[in-house]
Amino acid sequence: MKNINDTGLLQDEPLIFEQGGKGRKGYSLPQWDIEEVEVNRLLPSHLLRKELEGFPQLSEVDVVRHFTRLSQWNYGVDSGFYPLGSCTMKYNPKINEEVARMKGFAHIHPYQPESLVQSILKLMYELGGFLAEITGMDQVTLQPAAGAHGELTGMMVIRAALQARSEKRKKVLVPDTAHGTNCSTSTVASYQVVEIKSNERGVIPLRKVEELMDEEVAGIMVTNPNTLGFFEEHLAEIAEMVHRKGGFVYCDGANLNALMGIVKLGDLGVDMVHLNLHKTFSTPHGGGGPGSGPLAIKKELAPFLPAPVIEKAGEAYRLNYDRPLSIGRMKAFYGNFGVILKAYAYILSMGAEGLKRASEMAVLNANYLMTGLKGSYYLPYDRPCMHECVFTDRYQEKHHVSTLDIAKRLIDYGFHPPTIYFPLVVKGALMMEPTETEGKEGLDRFIETMNFIAKEAEENPDLLRQAPRRVKVRRLDEVLAARKPKLKWTSEK
């Protein structure tokens, strides 16, 4: 049976190293009519690569089929619903990809003189302006390459601003509903994290901030909406409280998809906020980038922004490197320009009304999903949500079915699972974010499937514990995969 594929069109695909045969080639060239010269007569032997043992030798069609089949194993936002919470896996309009690939953009070089890239500088300057408008801030740096990178930039700006006041503060307040990167960035920026416990409504209790805020605290990092999918309703009062004691308010705006055109975070007293262009503004993500996490700030903090900053003088744009108080450079050149470009195209094509509508639809879809699943799954915070909702496996526990089983069973029905076991404040969390780009039929299909799985958990829990069954690879040993990842191909099995 070795050569018989008994999985139908679910193609099995060996490694490319296990395919082909000696002497097989993917090219054919005409006979040459010049004299053959041994390569080691032309190059010193230490520069010559030795024969690569086991290097695959394949024909063109072998290579094309191998990679085409592999590409079909992928699941992405272009193939179906992708409800991964906190990630905003929405469909990205292809027009923005087209724009990013236009030659005039794709072929520019970062060392081109300012005079030859005026339109590029103008575009970045204007995008900064759009993002400042959307967030209610004054100035933006486009340098950070990811959300966490934007956070680090922000924490370094806070440190520099405190230093300019000759102050050294040691602590940063971070609620338990913050994204995990908030704690990491505070730590990397050498602050000590002080946790704030959220209340029964899933938000920061004002009283706790009052208790913890003192002259030792550099500031607070608030994820808004937070990882439970709730708006931090006391943010304005929290900001006032933190400012009164000389601290700064950092807002993690990675999930701005819920707020565009509805709330300006700057109006609530936030001093700085980062956005994830690769979530909200039309860059597909997952798999490691490239991303972009611009940081928007209030003007009092502008002197500390990374250099260079783009300035407009009359009709001309220039890069200003003369920034004595700047925290320095956070990224080579000007940031991930392709991502910046897509965000610019997206914002212009959507318009202010379109962005607002996207956020409204994202929130509506999440609440529709939440309402459809209530009853089948336990809802730890039973109140309207923003762009995502969080359920748990509490009702399924008595059948010995866990969140992991439910997630794996979804794969059997052709859905990508939601985020699981996050946020950490909720035991056995199933965190779902439908985004605005899902239609009602798609949401109904997902709701129906989830409710069906809840019934399966009661009637036939083994089906869930054995899931996924209708896939090439069944349940993987995730601990082994994390502890001993196999990162290199070897001929030994």
Ligand X SMILES: *Cc1c(COP(=O)(O)O)cnc(C)c1O
Q: List residues binding ligand X (CB under 6 A).
A: 86, 146-148, 179, 181, 223, 252, 254-255, 276, 291, 293
Q: Of 177 and 376, which has the nearer Cβ to ligand X?
A: 177
**Would you say 369 and 418 are in contact if contact means Cβ atoms under 8 Å apart?**
no
Nearest to ligand X of 242, 277 (CB atom): 277
Nearer to ligand X, 149 or 409 (CB): 149
Q: How many CB atoms lie within 10 A of CB 457?
A: 26
Number of CB atoms found within 10 A of residue 40's CB: 10
**Minimum distance from CB of 113 to ligand X (Å)?**
32
State in angstroms the smallest separation of the CB of 241 from ligand X: 22
Residues present in the chain in total: 493
Q: Measured from the CB atom, is 223 or 396 closer to ligand X?
A: 223
**309-313 and 316-320 strand pairing:** antiparallel
Q: Minimum distance from CB of 102 to ligand X (Å)?
A: 26
| Residue number, 254 or 410, with CB nearest to ligand X | 254
Contact 320, 309 (CB under 8 A): yes
Residue closer to ligand X by CB (options 293, 434) is 293
| Closest separation in Å from C-beta 403 to ligand X | 19
Q: Smallest gap, in angstroms, from Cβ of residue 46 to ligand X?
A: 42
Of 376 and 419, nearer to ligand X (C-beta) is 419
Nearer to ligand X, 291 or 428 (CB): 291
In the complex, minimum distance from the CB of residue 491 to ligand X, in angstroms, rounded to a whole number: 36
- 416 burial via Cβ count (<10 Å: 0-12, 13-18, 19+): middle
The span from the CA of 110 to the CA of 101, in Å, is 16
Query: In the bound complex, what is the minimum distance in angstroms from residue 334's beta carbon to ligand X?
Result: 18
* Minimum CB distance to ligand X, residue 276 (Å): 5
CB atoms within 10 A of CB 43: 10
Select 128 or 293, whichever has its Cβ closest to ligand X.
293
Name which of 276 and 365 has its Cβ closer to ligand X.
Answer: 276
Interior angle at CA 334, CA 105 and CA 359, nearest 5 = 80
* Smallest distance, ligand X to C-beta of residue 185, A: 9
Rounded distance between C-alpha atoms, residue 82 and residue 90, angstroms: 8
Q: Which is nearer to ligand X, 239 or 277 (CB)?
A: 277
- Work out how close the CB of 340 gets to ligand X at its nearest, in angstroms, rounded to a whole number: 14
Shortest distance in whole angstroms from residue 332 CB to ligand X? 18
CB atoms within 10 A of CB 129: 13
Residue nearest to ligand X (CB): 147
